[in-house]
Amino acid sequence: MNRLKYSTQPVFMMLAAFAMLAVGLGAAHANSMKKQNLVELMSHTDTIVIGTVAGKTDGIQNGLPYTEITLDVGQNIKGHQGARYTFRQFGLIEPKSMGDGRVNLMVTPAGWPTFVKGEKVMLFLHKPASETGFQTTAGLIQGKFLIRGNQVANGIDNDSLFADMKINRTLSASQQDLVNQAGGAYKAEEFFNLVKTAVEEKWIENGVMTNEK
């Protein structure tokens, strides 16, 4: 059986760059995978939603592999308004037969968020790409926060999320505890409320929350 295998380094790099173009991200931004603080994540975010993954499917759109994720939305914090949110991210769930004896192996790239039906998440999503409509999270795995009980953490366990940034206003004691925490899971409601307040009061736009890097 012929298979669409991409094992050589030049082809791998070509596909990686192609994937970046598919979602409208700069290759340098994606390849560096540097740790991003909350200011950086929010600055690259078009939509912030909290909800439950209702389902996912995959397919090919104009020759590009995608996974489509549907979210039952509990809270709309930025951008989207509505009870359901659906977006397409580059990459298949698993290798897919092309129907001609070949198999497309272009699954979700390493370091990108993956989704499981029923999991509760908070997503910081880029603006959909102008050419494809594909969309993924700001900071890739850093922009997907998994909610477990009353705790929430992103794909790198919130490492450096409040590093090298400043909030120029008086915070509540619980909010200050959150900001002072170096990493690890946060109290979910405290984190949600801080992000929601920052969006509603335009902390970044008004210089209340700044990046000190």
Block means of pLDDT (10 residues each) for the chain, 213 residues, are 39 45 44 83 97 96 95 96 96 87 88 96 96 95 97 96 95 92 94 97 97 88
What is the predicted pLDDT for the residue at 32?
Answer: 54
Tell me what pLDDT residue 100 has: 83
* pLDDT score at 86: 97
Question: Residue 101's pLDDT is what?
Answer: 81
Using alpha carbons, select from 108, 112, 107 the residue that is nearest to residue 123: 112
* Residues 45/143, Cβ–Cβ less than 8 Å: yes
Q: Do residues 69 and 57 touch, judged by C-beta distance below 8 A?
A: no
Q: What tokens were used for 190?
A: 């405290």
Provide long-range contacts, Cβ within 8 A and 24+ apart, for 11-17: 15/106, 16/109
Q: Are 118 and 8 in contact (CB under 8 A)?
A: no
CA nearest neighbour of 112 among 132, 90, 86: 90
Tell me what percent of the chain is helix, strand and coil, each rounded to the nearest 5.
25, 30, 45
* pLDDT on residue 98: 80
